[in-house]
Amino acid sequence: MSYNFKFDVLLRYIPEIVQGVLLTLQFSVVTMLCGLAIGLIVAMASISPLMPLRACARVYVEALRNTPLLVQLFIVFFGLPSIGIKLGANTAALIALSINMGAYGAEILRAGFQSVRQSQVEAGRSLGLTAGQTFRHVVLFQAIKTIYPALASQFVLIMLTTSVVSSIGATELFHQAAFIDSRTYRSFETYTLITVSYLVLTLGFRAFFAGVYWMVFVRRPRR
């Protein structure tokens, strides 16, 4: 059986693909920022001397990391309307992705904070620094350097995971692929193009993050 490849039929749908790429990037960036904000709070709670805070943080992390993202997404989009909270597809997607990212971000941040030796923290306090100053000047930079590769990988993973939100109608890249396929009936060409789009985005961001790491953490200032 022969098959005639017709990638040219997809040219008229370039605007839809661009729209999908932009929304995928928007989801990824907003999810990363909101997830890290949530993760920071949870990470601080997880290393708190107060046992109730540590317990709450552990429950949150374990619950989110050990259940499927798709289930969490359906709870937000389909479950919340049952109690009177109705959200649009894109809003529900951002909330579900951010809450999920918060759990993973909390573990990454906690590992980074705990990687800084206690002796360095004590040295900062002995120099008269407050707890906040010690955190900013002693702990933070070292922790970020340690966890930066994990955060970069997590961003790429989030970007790929956004394809899940098409299941509730969020119009990101994968949703646009399904739309184009339904119009053209060229499944192979459509999903090949979308695969290449994800690959370009992934490799591009990996190169970008590697460049940032080199400039911030590796390169030494000239004297």
64 in Cβ contact with 107 (< 8 Å): no
- In tens, the pLDDT along 135-175 reads 777 777 788 889 999 999 999 999 999 999 999 988 899 99
- DSSP string covering the chain, please? ------GGGGGGGHHHHHHHHHHHHHHHHHHHHHHHHHHHHHHHHHT-S-HHHHHHHHHHHHHHHTS-HHHHHHIIIIIGGGGT----HHHHHHHHHHHHHHHHHHHHHHHHHHHS-HHHHHHHHHTT--HHHHIIIIIIHHHHHHHHHHHHHHHHHHHHHGGGGGGGT--SHHHHHHHHHHHH--HHHHHHHHHHHHHHHHHHHHHHHHHHHIIIIIPPPP-
- In tens, the pLDDT along 66-91 reads 999 999 999 999 999 999 999 999 99
If pLDDT is split at 50, 70 and 90, which confidence band does 133 have? Answer: confident
What does each C-alpha distance from 118 to 76, 113, 138, 139 come to in angstroms? 40, 10, 11, 10
Tell me how far apart the terminal alpha carbons of the chain are, to the nearest angstrom: 68
Hey, where are the domains in the chain? Answer: 11-218
Higher pLDDT, 31 or 137: 31
The answer as to CATH 1.10.3720.10 being correct for domain 11-218 is: yes
101 in Cβ contact with 34 (< 8 Å): yes
Q: What percent of the chain has pLDDT over 90?
A: 74
Highest mean pLDDT among 70-74, 141-145, 183-187, 218-222 belongs to 70-74
Q: Average pLDDT for residues 31-53, to the nearest whole number? A: 94
Q: Average pLDDT for residues 47-61, to the nearest whole number? A: 94
Q: What pLDDT is attached to residue 222?
A: 53
Residue 30 has pLDDT above 80, yes or no: yes
Residue 43 has pLDDT above 60, yes or no: yes
Q: What pLDDT is attached to residue 38?
A: 97
Q: What pLDDT is attached to residue 179?
A: 93
